Structure 1
Amino acid sequence: MTKEHVQRIVLGDVEVLRITEWQGPFTAARDLVPDSTADMWRDNEDVLAPDHWDPAADQAVGALQSWVLRSGGRTVLVDTGVGNGRERPGTPWFHRQEGDFLGLLARAGVRPEDVDLVVNTHVHADHVGWNTRAEEGAWVPSFPRAQYLIPAADDFHFGPDNGYGQGRRVDDRLIYEDSIAPVHRAGQAVLWDGEHRIDEHLVLESAPGHTPGSSVLRVASGGERAVFAGDLLHSPVQILDPSCNSCFCLDPERAAASRRRILERAAEERELVVPAHFGGPGAVEVRRSGSGFAFGPRAAD
């Protein structure tokens, strides 16, 4: 797997920078994808190891990463990682972390004031953490000029109106209070639902299930296509069998339906699939295979 923290690709007129904070094994494979079987992992070791699975330890391999898209003269940041100094007692991986996310952005030539739009694909701790930073004892937006595009269904579910995720996890209240509410107070939050076009190349689309407002960002430019799939996929085994949900999906039935729909379109339209947490190159091509999907481009027509 790559150890580079910043990588660049071009999709038509859209420049894409991959910002990787961390990459490696992080949990037992079937704890991450409980619906999967041991055979699914073993039988596909050739495509899963080493970038997505450590067979010796039976650990899923993943990455904590964000994406910067330069499109139509604007800089768009897709998801913002865990953040620093966050109280996340229910999630040890994210509790009181101290990272160098803004430094990685600077290495890629992106200053906080350069960011025009922040896209939160959904409101989970590892996707909204750097929405804000601490300043004189208060949380303030990290990107002072940016509009923050937040799915309205997630804002409602994880916000006070629906009892901070219906009170299921203490972390949900903390996440909203330190990473979402300050953006609202600063007047920088833009809530959307269904579909939201950013420019001629970029469009956000609801894909609910993982969370009520889970979304994907589609890119189409110069004949190149990609879909930034957020947490619809945590592992490639979910491509092989889209009915397999991660342990984090709040509505498994809707999540599986959204996953299949996005994968069907990706296979049909040759969209590069870019999930939030894939290790290795961080993206994959898919094609139809029987009732499911396989890795790699489909044959030319």
Structure 2
Amino acid sequence: MTTPHTSKTYHIGDARVTRVTETHLTGLTPSFLYADWDATLLDTYPPLRSNLDGTGEHAIISIHTWVVELAGQTILIDTGIGNHKERPFSQMFHGLNTPFLQRLEAAGVRPDDVDHVLLTHLHADHVGWNTHLVDGRWLATFRNARYVLPQGEVDYFGTPASANRRIVFDDSVAPVIEAGQAVTIGLEGGDYLDGFHFHPTPGHSAGHMSISLTSRGETAIFSGDVMHSPVQVYRPTWNSVFCAEQERARESRRWLLEFAATNRAAVFTAHFPQSSAGLVQHTGDDLAWRYL
């Protein structure tokens, strides 16, 4: 079923992939997001203007979950911001209250139907619906699911550098670990289930992973935060303000773009607006983005 907060369903071999949107953010300017921002890019590639809000001054950033249905299993890729989360470091994330679970159900998925939750990384806008508040306690939202966490991200939260984001781990990650529902993927990545593969794409965060899906000869990749908008397809060296390690972020982006173009893989992004899904294509020596 399609609602204003779901996308059409895409088919990757035998897999069905549907976006369920939590919210859209429009408070950030491109010049804030990208230190190298040059507005003449919009003149060179006019379709990029469609990724800005009605004022033409702010980027549209989608926060959503990808639902994958394959071989009788229901898999979520990342889980958004979540409701009622204390986020003193971000007013955009703080105390959110959306009908996300109702939207998920409108797409045909009840929380207890979810078998696996695959996480690209452990930032606040990717793990929030891992848990929900029940009688003052954070409990797993998806009671029957196995949560798959990148080990490098878990390790990061054991370091002093994570102190100002520790609240995210405590309310959205630790409860699923304590419930015995979590497994980790090692730093080198690896296969999961039949058809998924975790690829190390660090830079945005310490243990960031992108996740590919292959079924009946067709390929997709869930890019996480390797990119935040189509701008970075045309300017792969432009890091967002949120990238922790600059050169590693660029290397990961180059790898992902080449993987997508070479394999003709559908790219299911974490924050692009419009459909949030598209193709990366070679155009001479450059790359281009086309929404699906």
TM over 0.5: yes
Aligned residue for 1:65, secondary structure, equals strand
Aligned length: 288
TM-score relative to the length of structure 1: 0.91
1:162 equivalent in alignment to 2:159: yes
- Determine if contact 1:71/1:201 at 8 Å carries over to the other structure: no
- Offset of 1:24 from its aligned partner? 5.6
Alignment of 1:114-129 (within 5 A): 114-129=113-128
Q: What is the distance in 2 between the residues matched to 1:134 and 1:42? A: 47
Q: What is the distance in 1 between the residues matched to 2:183 and 2:190? A: 10
1:104 equivalent in alignment to 2:115: no
The residue that corresponds to 2:211 in the other structure is 217
- Determine if contact 2:3/2:106 at 8 Å carries over to the other structure: no
1:17 equivalent in alignment to 2:18: yes
Alignment of 1:104-253 (within 5 A): 104-157=103-156, 159=157, 161-163=158-160, 165-167=161-163, 170=164, 172-193=165-186, 194-253=188-247
The residue that corresponds to 2:5 in the other structure is 5
The residue that corresponds to 1:35 in the other structure is 36
- Determine if contact 2:119/2:148 at 8 Å carries over to the other structure: yes
Alignment of 1:56-75 (within 5 A): 56-75=55-74
Aligned residue for 1:121, secondary structure, equals coil
- Offset of 1:90 from its aligned partner? 0.9
**Gaps spanning 5+ residues in structure 2: where?**
none
- Offset of 1:295 from its aligned partner? 2.4
- Offset of 1:54 from its aligned partner? 3.6
Aligned residue for 2:239, secondary structure, equals coil
TM-score relative to the length of structure 2: 0.93
Greater shift, 281-290 or 185-194, is seen at: 281-290
Q: What is the distance in 1 between the residues matched to 2:272 and 2:288? A: 16
1:257 corresponds to which of 237, 251, 255:
251
Q: What is the distance in 1 between the residues matched to 2:27 and 2:14? A: 35
The residue that corresponds to 2:48 in the other structure is 48
- Offset of 1:293 from its aligned partner? 1.2
Identity %: 38
Q: In angstroms, what is the RMSD of aligned CA positions?
A: 1.8
Q: What is the distance in 2 between the residues matched to 1:25 and 1:196? A: 35
Q: What is the distance in 1 between the residues matched to 2:145 and 2:25? A: 31
**Gaps spanning 5+ residues in structure 1: where?**
none
Cα deviation 1:8-61 (Å, max 9, x = unaligned)? 12111001111012236331012112223122233222x2122x1247432111
- Determine if contact 2:49/2:56 at 8 Å carries over to the other structure: no
- Offset of 1:234 from its aligned partner? 0.4
Aligned residue for 1:6, secondary structure, equals coil
Cα deviation 1:186-222 (Å, max 9, x = unaligned)? 0111111222322332222111110011111111112
Aligned residue for 2:159, secondary structure, equals helix
Cα deviation 1:120-168 (Å, max 9, x = unaligned)? 11111110001001112111111111111111111111x2x213x443x
The residue that corresponds to 2:93 in the other structure is 94
- Offset of 1:254 from its aligned partner? 0.3
